[in-house]
A and B are shown apart, each in its own frame.
Chain A
Amino acid sequence: MGKKQGSTNQKLDNIPSWFWVSISFLIALGLLKLLSILPSTSLVFASPEAIIRSFIKKAKDGTIWGHIGISLFRVFGGFAFGFILAVPVAFMMGWYKIFRNLVEPWIQFIRNIPPIAYIPLVIAGVGVGEKAKIVVIFVATFLVMVISIYQGVCNVDATLIKAAKVLGAKDRTIFFQVVIPASTPFILVGVRLGLSAALTTLVAAEMTGASKGLGMMVTSAGQYYDMATVLMGIIVIGIIGLTLEKIVKLLERRLTGWQETQVM
């Protein structure tokens, strides 16, 4: 019995992963089709064909590209500001104890508040324009990234710093040639979490009154009960998320392939 199980496992291992992904995709498609037919769920779930039709229609008249473009602009805008601020703040927290003791409680407190909660604050501060969305995404990504990068800085092996010192390294060299490379895996984890937080916050940010954007497209289609467009928008957001993650993973393999075990 056990032996037979082992050989089945072996056979399963030999099947390439693209095969599993395709099968999994087809099953999901089938389930969606089923949900769109069943009377109790057909009001909520549009059929795969309807979703594709909705995409083709919006692709032909060009509106979907506008939504995707402006959403990506907001995601990357907010993320970029978040990243640029998170790196120095995280390193300062790791480097200066006083700074850490003062700033860490704030970060721990704010990060538990969902970004939607401070949207009114943001609108009151910078209005409902482009700035508001970027600010909300910025705050969300900054918090996520500062925490994970700070962890990286704290986890730099003290023996490596000692080893650099006895080989003649001074503070500058230690910072650039030991602390930075040693924290790179955590910086990349931060980037991955940050991008995912940016996407998560996107819909919320676009609810602050947008005329364009995937989040706004989904929200307004929902008001017209156009479930095909709602689902299409959700799927597009999902595809963007997956693509961003793949890109960061590629970057991780390039930059941190030296690690003994991959950091999750």
Chain B
Amino acid sequence: MAGNTGNVKVKIDNVRKVFNGRSGEMIALNGVSLDIKENEFVCVVGPSGCGKSTLLNIIAGLGEPTSGKVYVDDKEVVGPGTERGVVFQQYALFPWLTVRKNVEFGLKLKGLKKDEVSKICDKYIKMVDLEEFADSYPKELSGGMKQRVAIARAYAVSPEVLLMDEPFGALDAQTRTQLQSDLLDTWQKERKTCFFITHDVDEAIILAQRVVIMSARPGRIKEIVNIDIPYPRTQETKMSKEFLDLKNYIWGQVYQEYLEVRR
């Protein structure tokens, strides 16, 4: 199993995060430890407010843990870095730049030569099948297309770790399914370590080698479930007994947490 061998790429070591709000201290994360192996695909599920996004921000270097540390390749994370790409739920495309310029943004900052920049950019625009829209502005694209641009932009700077914060959460079911299978295709071609946050248990099982279930208040890891369904996974996979059993089990665990939060 790819998930159980290989080097540790991302090490989350006893991370705790406390926010000081008006209503006092809020413990967003407490004692979160997780090793993510090289090229592994890990999905995180859990109720809203369990600190999933906070954890992703900390790995991305966009937020600091109150205590504990995150290491990528044994190096402590102290800020954002291009070896960690992020795809946000709200797409976060620069609306004043065309699709091409969005994808080139990070490449130009790397100080690559002009022809190299456009070569790499072409490659990733082709990967997400948006050649026709290379010179369009984000406002001219649908939600699914915008997210494909964001994925191309994240891939273009060739990160080793991809962090995705509910990237398909705002899309309709059909587009979501399409993007899931595109993402799996890409992941199988260009292996990267993926850390993927979602609300959707189906999505987590179809994508991940391991599903991390989180508890809320304070956010911590409740359970880690291995998904031993072989790739390539297709829509038929979702009909298999294996898939349905896992779905029942994980959904049950997550649902308990929802009830906890509502209480």
Residues on A close to B: CB < 8 A? 157, 159-160, 162-169, 173, 177-178, 181-182, 184, 256-260
How many contacts between A and B, using CB within 8 angstroms?
A: 65
Top 8 closest pairs, chain A to chain B, by CB: A167-B106, A163-B92, A166-B86, A159-B92, A165-B80, A168-B109, A258-B96, A168-B82
Asked if A159 and B85 sit within 8 Å, CB to CB, the answer is no
Residues of chain A lying within 8 A (CB to CB) of residue B85: 166
Quick check: is B94 within 8 A (CB to CB) of the other chain?
yes
Asked if B95 and A168 sit within 8 Å, CB to CB, the answer is no
Chain B interface size band reads 20 to 34
Cα of A181 to Cα of B98 in the assembled complex, Å: 13
Quick check: is B84 within 8 A (CB to CB) of the other chain?
yes
Quick check: is B123 within 8 A (CB to CB) of the other chain?
no
Chain A nearest CB, measured from B94 CB (Å): 6
Q: A169-B109, A178-B94, A259-B95 are in contact. Are A163 and B139 (CB under 8 A)?
A: no
Asked if B80 and A166 sit within 8 Å, CB to CB, the answer is yes
CB-contacts of B39-67 with A (<8 A)? 60-62
Chain A nearest CB, measured from B151 CB (Å): 13
Residues on B close to A: CB < 8 A? 60-62, 80-82, 84-86, 88, 90, 92-97, 105-106, 109-110, 137-139, 153, 157
Asked if B94 and A181 sit within 8 Å, CB to CB, the answer is yes
For A181, give its contact among B60, B86, B96, B139 (CB under 8 Å). Answer: B96
Q: A178-B94, A182-B96, A258-B96 are in contact. Are A164 and B139 (CB under 8 A)?
A: no
Cα of A116 to Cα of B124 in the assembled complex, Å: 60
Asked if B84 and A166 sit within 8 Å, CB to CB, the answer is yes
Asked if B62 and A167 sit within 8 Å, CB to CB, the answer is no
7 of the cross-chain contacts (CB-CB < 8 Å) are A159-B90, A166-B62, A167-B157, A177-B105, A257-B137, A258-B137, A260-B139
Q: A165-B62, A168-B106, A258-B139 are in contact. Are A184 and B92 (CB under 8 A)?
A: no
Given A166-B80, A168-B82, A258-B137, 14 other A-B contacts at CB below 8 A?
A157-B90, A159-B90, A159-B92, A162-B88, A162-B92, A163-B88, A164-B94, A165-B62, A165-B80, A167-B105, A169-B109, A182-B96, A258-B96, A260-B138
For A168, give its contact among B88, B94, B110, B137 (CB under 8 Å). Answer: B110
Residues of chain B lying within 8 A (CB to CB) of residue A166: 60-62, 80, 82, 84-86
Asked if A160 and B96 sit within 8 Å, CB to CB, the answer is no
Residues of chain A lying within 8 A (CB to CB) of residue B88: 159, 162-163
Asked if A168 and B157 sit within 8 Å, CB to CB, the answer is yes
Chain B residue nearest to A260 in the complex (CB): B139
Cα of A165 to Cα of B80 in the assembled complex, Å: 6
Asked if B96 and A184 sit within 8 Å, CB to CB, the answer is yes
Q: A167-B105, A169-B109, A258-B137 are in contact. Are A162 and B95 (CB under 8 A)?
A: no
For B105, give its contact among A164, A182, A258, A260 (CB under 8 Å). Answer: A164
Cα of A164 to Cα of B106 in the assembled complex, Å: 8
For A167, give its contact among B82, B95, B139 (CB under 8 Å). Answer: B82
Q: A167-B157, A168-B109, A173-B109 are in contact. Are A162 and B94 (CB under 8 A)?
A: no
Asked if B86 and A258 sit within 8 Å, CB to CB, the answer is no
Residues of chain B lying within 8 A (CB to CB) of residue A165: 61-62, 80
Chain A nearest CB, measured from B86 CB (Å): 4
Residues of chain B lying within 8 A (CB to CB) of residue A182: 96
Q: A167-B157, A168-B157 are in contact. Are A162 and B86 (CB under 8 A)?
A: yes
Cα of A168 to Cα of B94 in the assembled complex, Å: 15
Q: A166-B60, A166-B62, A167-B109 are in contact. Are A160 and B82 (CB under 8 A)?
A: no
